[in-house]
Chain A
């Protein structure tokens, strides 16, 4: 099993460009998450999907959109990138609710917006 995979691993964008970060899991998990990690701030939840067909905002959703394409895949889209979105992005999945089930993390995507 590959676990949680993310593409791309690295990306550089110019301000105003758009892109989609892809995430897939092969563990048949119901819940999936997108986080961003910034130095000294831990991980902050951008969006999550408790189950296929549902998505909800997290702590920092502004400037992002998500799609739960099917049970395996959960993508994160930046419509018009800004320098403040320079960060490391992690996708995660869990069998059920985050407070009861372990979250499994992907290796991350390092995004730089110039």
Chain B
């Protein structure tokens, strides 16, 4: 069985500072991992995905995530936050069907 845990329900950063959203997963075999973003009152949009190629995955809008098998983690980072990054972020694990984490709400302060 697969599961995913997002370690922070809320993260607050200042504009221009780094972003770190943490995700740990559990899977009985090599999973595919995703990060999706949801802006207020919108559907979800794919940020990036890991499917057993390079462990450092680059996504849209300057986000990237590193797959660390030894730590069962897939944390999302961005060097410099922008106001438009304020949204809810979901870490997702998959083997056939997607299992979503509970979400992390990112707040960006000016």
Contact = CB atoms under 8 A, between A and B. Distances in A.
Task: Indicate the size class of the contact surface on chain B.
Answer: 20 to 34
B97 to A, nearest CB: 6
B90 A90 contact: no
Interface in A86-114: 90, 92, 97-100, 102-103, 105-108
A40 B9 contact: yes
Contacts of B9: 40
Interface of B: 9, 31-32, 41-46, 49, 51, 90, 94-98, 100-103
Q: Is the interface of B mostly helix, strand, loop or mixed?
A: loop
A54 to B, nearest CB: 14
A41 B95 contact: no
Contacts, number: 53
B49 A42 contact: no
A98 B49 CA distance: 11
Give chain A's interface residue range (CB within 8 Å of chain B): 20 to 34
A43 B90 contact: yes
